[in-house]
């Protein structure tokens, strides 16, 4: 795993794209603060850049770097959730402008996966995590279901967990600074 971490961090630091296993599905990732790298993901996925992407952070400390005001409910949700959960927050900061949704929100997950945790720690920043599919196509449940164009379009493919089968992506909840809570995907 060490070699995979070293190579992945190098690629992300250089503005490249990685294809990597997460705690949910295989993801396409890049430095979440690099606008050019984020633009490459939109182009590869053939997706409009008005559709927001999810990013991953290692822990609550890293989350505080990217969100101006974290609602108290977020800490409770993170602490009690047994399944992967992505939270949409208001007022993101220090992220690529083309990663932030038109309503000034960002979707962030703290993954429960050793490779992702180590990757985020070593990179010391948020990394984009969007499903490894062309926009509109089904989310691949395993590495072998990933479209060849996606595999060819990234700069590095992580050689771990190639046989893992994923059952579903994370749940998504939107927490507004005004106290509002909305379930987007369960």
Instruction: Please spell the DSSP secondary structure of 97-130, one letter per residue.
Output: GGGS-TTSEEEEE----HHHHHHHHHHTS-EE-E
Longest dimension (CA), the chain: 44
Please check the confidence at residue 51 and state whether its pLDDT lies above 80: no
Place of tokens 């929100």: 105
Q: What is the pLDDT of residues 80-133, one digit of tens each?
A: 998 999 999 999 999 999 999 999 999 999 999 999 999 999 999 999 999 999
Q: 144 is written with which tokens? A: 């072998």
pLDDT at 169: 81
pLDDT of residue 50: 63
Contacts of residue 61, defined as CB under 8 A and 6 or more positions apart, other chains included, come to: none
pTM of full prediction above 0.75: yes
pLDDT of residue 172: 93
Are 54 and 101 in contact by the 8 Å Cβ rule? The answer is no
Question: Is it the case that residue 37 has pLDDT exceeding 90?
Answer: yes
- Please tell me the predicted confidence (pLDDT) of residue 82: 87
Tell me the C-alpha distance between 172 and 87, whole Å.
Answer: 6
Query: What average pLDDT does this structure show over 135-148?
Result: 92
Q: Among residues 58, 15, 41, 29, which one has the least CA distance to residue 157?
A: 29
CA 41 – CA 46 distance, rounded (Å): 8
Classify residue 138 by its DSSP letter: P
Average of per-residue pLDDT across 46-64: 89
Which conformational region is residue 104 in: left (phi greater than 0), alpha (psi within -120 to 50 degrees), or beta?
A: left
Question: What is the radius of gyration, based on Cα positions, of the chain?
Answer: 15
Q: What are the E-state strand segments in the chain? A: 18-21, 26-29, 54-56, 85-90, 105-109, 127-128, 130-131, 156-157, 171-175, 181-185
- Per-residue pLDDT band at 164 (split at 50, 70, 90): confident
For residue 163, what are its two tokens?
């046989």
Most trustworthy range by pLDDT among 36-40, 76-80, 177-181: 36-40
Band of pLDDT at residue 163, cut at 50, 70 and 90:
confident
pLDDT in tens, 10-21: 999 999 999 999
């Amino acid at each position: 795993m060490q070699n995979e971490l070293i190579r992945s961090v190098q690629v992300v630091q250089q503005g490249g794209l990685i294809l990597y296993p997460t705690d949910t599905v295989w993801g396409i990732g890049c430095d979440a603060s690099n606008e050019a790298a984020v633009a490459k993901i939109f182009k590869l996925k053939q997706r409009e850049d008005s559709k927001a992407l999810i990013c991953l952070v290692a822990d609550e400390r890293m989350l505080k770097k990217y969100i101006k005001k974290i609602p108290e409910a977020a800490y409770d949700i993170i602490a009690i959730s047994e399944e992967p959960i992505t939270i949409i927050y208001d007022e993101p900061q220090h992220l690529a402008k083309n990663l932030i949704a038109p309503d000034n929100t960002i979707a962030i997950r703290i993954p429960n996966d050793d490779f992702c945790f180590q990757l985020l720690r070593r990179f010391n920043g948020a990394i984009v995590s969007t499903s490894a599919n062309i926009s509109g196509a089904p989310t691949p449940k395993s590495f072998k279901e990933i479209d060849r164009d996606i595999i060819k379009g990234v700069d590095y493919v992580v050689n771990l967990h190639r046989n893992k089968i994923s059952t579903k992506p994370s749940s998504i909840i939107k927490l507004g600074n005004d106290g509002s809570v909305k379930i987007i995907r369960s």
